[in-house]
Amino acid sequence: MEIPRHIAIIMDGNGRWAQRRLLPRAAGHREGAKTVRRIVEACCRLGVGWLTLYAFSTENWKRPQAEVDALMALLSRFLVAETPDMIANGICLRVIGDQERLPAGVCRNLKESCEATAGGKSLILTLALSYGGRDEIVRAARKLAAEVQAGRLAPDGISEAVFAEALDSAACPDPDLLIRTGGEQRISNFLLWQMAYGEMVFTTTLWPDFDEMDLRAACEEFSRRSRRFGRISA
Ligand code: FPP
C-alpha cells in the first residue's frame, strides 16, 4: 500500500452522529475531537508526513453562536490536553486560516502549542481554523499586491511558486489525498489552490466513527489511483 505523503481531511458528520443519538450537536464535536486524536496516532504509525484537518471554516462562523462557542472551547481544551503528547510524539502543530477572527484565548493556546511543538519531526499536523480557500487566496493576493505597490516585486515576478509561498500553506507540499467523511462529495472551500491534482476519497462514515481501518481503506483506494498530473501514463 502506498502511503500518501500529505493527507487532508474534511471531518464531516459530527452533528448527524449526535442527532442519531438524540444528543446535542456539541456532543458530536466532542466525539469528533477523540477521532482527531485516534487519526493523528494512526498517521504516525503509517508514516504519513503531513496531516491537514479542516476544523472550522470561514462559513462556520454563521452557525448558531452557542455551537461556535462550544467548538472554540473544545479546541482550547484539546490544545491544552494534547500538547504534551504532541511534544512526546514529535508532532509539530501548525495553523492555517484567518486567525484574526479567532477568540483571543484560542489564539493564545494555538501560539503556545505551535511554539511548544515546533521541533516535532515525525508529523506536521496543520489545523485549518477560520479557514476558507478563497479567503486564503485573496489574502495572498493582497500580500503580493502590497509588495508590488512597495516596489519590491514586479507583476511579472508573480509565478505559481511565488503565489504558493504567499499562501498560509507556504512550505507545505500539496495534499496527495483528500478524505471527506459524512457522505457529501464536494470540496467546500478547502485547499482550493493546493488540491489542483490531489486525489479525493469520499466515505459515508461519520467523522466520530472514522477509525484506522477507514484511514487504511482510503490509502488502499489512493494506491489504486493512476496519478498522471495532466500527462499520459508511462
Ligand atoms: C463538521 O461536522 C465538523 C465541524 C464543523 C467541526 C469539526 C470539529 C471537530 C472534529 C472537533 C474539534 C476539532 C479539533 C481539532 C479538536 P458537522 O457539524 O457539519 O456535521 P453534520 O454535517 O452532521 O451536521
- Which domains are present in the chain? 6-132+174-224 (3.40.1180.10)
Distances (CA, A) of 99 to 109, 112, 210: 12, 14, 28
Q: What is the pLDDT of residues 88-127, one digit of tens each?
A: 999 999 999 999 999 999 999 999 999 999 999 999 999 9
Angstrom distance (rounded) from CA 105 to CA 148: 35
Question: How far, in Å, from the CA of 60 to the mean position of ligand 1?
Answer: 10
Does 145 have pLDDT greater than 70? yes
Checking phi first, is residue 227 left (phi over 0); if not, alpha (psi -120 to 50) or beta? beta
Q: Is the pLDDT of residue 157 over 70?
A: yes
CB atoms within 10 A of CB 68: 15
pLDDT digits (tens, 9 = 90+) for 174-198: 999 999 999 999 999 999 999 999 9
**pTM (2 d.p.):** 0.95
Distance from C-alpha of 157 to C-alpha of 155, rounded to nearest angstrom: 5
Neighbours of 70 (CB within 10 A): 18
CA distance 174 to 163: 13
Question: Within its chain, how far is the Cα of 177 from the centroid?
Answer: 12
pLDDT score of 192: 98
- The residue-averaged pLDDT of 224-234 equals 77
| Chain segment 18-45, per-residue pLDDT in tens | 999 999 999 999 999 999 999 999 999 9
Cell (9 digits) for 182: 459524512
Give the ligand 1 atom nearest the CA of 184.
22
How sure is the predictor about 234, in pLDDT bands with cuts at 50, 70 and 90? Answer: low
**12 catalytic residue (yes or no):** yes
Share of the chain above pLDDT 90, in %: 95
Q: Count Cβ neighbours within 10 Å for each residue of 71-101 and write b for 16 or more, e otherwise.
A: bbebbbebbeebbeebbeeebbbbbbbbeee
- CA-nearest residue for atom 1, ligand 1, is 12
**Residue from 12, 135, 168, 214 carrying the catalytic annotation:** 12
Q: Residue type for 48, please?
A: V
Cα–Cα separations (whole angstroms), residue 163 to 37, 138, 169, 220:
33, 11, 11, 33
Q: Atom 12 in ligand 1: which residue has the minimum CA distance? A: 33
Annotated active-site residue 60? The verdict is: yes
**CA-closest residue to ligand 1 atom 6:** 55
> Average pLDDT, stretch 150-156?
97
CA of residue 28 to ligand 1 center, whole Å: 8
Alpha helix stretches (DSSP H) within the chain = 14-20, 25-46, 65-88, 104-117, 133-149, 160-166, 212-224
Query: How confident is residue 1, by pLDDT bands cut at 50, 70 and 90?
Result: confident
State mean pLDDT over 128-153: 98
Going by pLDDT thresholds of 50, 70 and 90, the confidence category of residue 232 is: confident
Nearest to 72 by CA among 137, 129, 132, 141: 129
Q: What is the mean pLDDT of the chain?
A: 96
C-beta pairs of 21-30 under 8 Å, 24+ apart in sequence: 25/67, 25/70, 26/67, 26/70, 26/71, 26/74, 28/208, 29/70, 29/71, 29/74, 30/74
pLDDT at 38: 97
- Angle in degrees, CA 116, 169, 8, rounded to 5: 90
Render pLDDT for 49-102 as a digit per residue (tens, 0 to 9): 999 999 999 999 999 999 999 999 999 999 999 999 999 999 999 999 999 999
